[in-house]
Amino acid sequence: MTEGMAIEFKGAVKHRRRHSIGPIDLKIPQGYIIALVGSNGSGKSTMLSMMMRTIKPDRGEIHWYGESFSGELPLELRQSIGYVPEGPIAEENGMTADAIAKFRAHWCPSWDEARFNGLIEQFHVPRNERLNRMSKGERRKLEISTVLAARPRLMLLDEPSSGLDPFAWGDMIDELQAYMENEDVTIILSTHIVDEVKRLADYIVLVDEGRVLGMVEKDSLYGTWKELWVQGALEGLSQVKEVVKCEPDGPHLMRIIVRDNAQWNQYLTATGMQIMKSHSLELEEILRLWIKGYEPEELLV
């Protein structure tokens, strides 16, 4: 990765009630979609809030496009960030979509009214309903439309698809992909939906219990792990470093999960073990292994 960095965490720590988030050291490259993935309470929203500067780290620093700021972010930078928080913004409860658009048009120089109108029509967002009377999904669709219409350079999306029906979800994926055709744009989103990661992410950042376990290029994960059913010289199989799971599946067959690397292939050749069936692990299973400590070989942080 030699590109410029959109965001850099340098030893950033935020103390929370039950545990601290961090220290986080992470470089998020500009021009890509980065998915923050991790279990509930692991710290994804806290990281996004720190990137939006709605909360400040208690220790360490965050850099935006190579610069750090002691107080609020400069206006121009704030105007270039589109943020969809995890939950609704209480101050917007009494507003309508039109009132939101008027406010954003005033605040944001890159606001594209025609784009906003097109998006809320496409997403069937009611124009004159107050936000607290909209359904959860309608309100989410409005928030996504608002962020896209502001044409930000950096999007911070906290579980953007929460509450969306499958049709709106597909539209959101298409819109975000189309928006990425603008090379300068970076999207950082937190999500629990593996399909969203598969469809959108260039990089995955795995977060667990307040710690960033690492960042990895999504495509490099595929093919790293295999599930195999083997026959033959099975003694000692469970001692092989590359084998992370090994259980009998019938009298002469062993089902194993294995890191598919050169050492494993050498072992296979040496023992003459027979592979009866094999397939690559799905992303969801690869992430579960990573959380358990089996990190990818091509970790970037």
Ligand X SMILES: Nc1ncnc2c1ncn2[C@@H]1O[C@H](COP(=O)(O)OP(=O)(O)OP(=O)(O)O)[C@@H](O)[C@H]1O
Sheet holding 254-259, edge to edge: 243-248, 254-259, 225-231, 274-280
From 9, 26, 44, 145, residue interacting with ligand X (rule: CB under 6 A): 44
Query: Judged by CB, which is closer to ligand X: 42, or 224?
Result: 42
Q: Does 16 bind ligand X (CB under 6 A)?
A: yes
DSSP letter at 263 equals H
Q: Does 96 bind ligand X (CB under 6 A)?
A: no
Least CB distance from residue 39 to ligand X, whole Å?
Answer: 7
Q: Is 24 helix (H, G, I), strand (E, B) or coil?
A: strand
Query: Judged by CB, which is closer to ligand X: 117, or 162?
Result: 162
Residues 6+ apart with CB under 8 A from 78: 53, 72
Query: Judged by CB, which is closer to ligand X: 18, or 106?
Result: 18
Report the alpha-carbon distance of residue 29 to residue 36 in Å, rounded.
14
- Which one of the spans 33-41, 98-106, 127-135, 255-263 is the region binding ligand X (CB under 6 A)? 33-41
38, 130, 142, 157 from 192: Cα distances, Å: 7, 29, 21, 12
Query: Judged by CB, which is closer to ligand X: 136, or 252?
Result: 136
28, 65, 300 from 1: Cα distances, Å: 10, 15, 9
Q: Does 45 bind ligand X (CB under 6 A)?
A: yes
Q: Is 192 helix (H, G, I), strand (E, B) or coil?
A: coil
- Give DSSP secondary structure letters for 125-174: --SSS-GGGS-HHHHHHHHHHHHHHT--SEEEEESTTTT--HHHHHHHHH
Q: Cβ distance 21 to 14 under 8 Å?
A: yes
Query: Judged by CB, which is closer to ligand X: 119, or 160?
Result: 160
Query: Judged by CB, which is closer to ligand X: 92, or 158?
Result: 158
How many residues make contact with ligand X (CB under 6 A)? 13
- Which one of the spans 11-19, 23-31, 179-187, 219-227 is the region binding ligand X (CB under 6 A)? 11-19
Least CB distance from residue 243 to ligand X, whole Å?
Answer: 31
User: Which amino acid is it at 183?
Assistant: E
What binding mask, one character per residue, do residues 55-94 give for ligand X by CB under 6 A, x or -? -------------------------------x--------
Q: Does 43 bind ligand X (CB under 6 A)?
A: yes
Q: Does 46 bind ligand X (CB under 6 A)?
A: yes
- Which one of the spans 10-18, 120-128, 218-226, 233-241 is the region binding ligand X (CB under 6 A)? 10-18
- Strands annotated E in 80-127: 81-84
Least CB distance from residue 212 to ligand X, whole Å?
Answer: 11
Report the alpha-carbon distance of residue 223 to residue 297 in Å, rounded.
12
Residue 66 half-sphere exposure toward CB, CA atoms < 13 A: 3
Which residues are near ligand X by CB under 6 A? 16-18, 21, 38, 40-46, 86
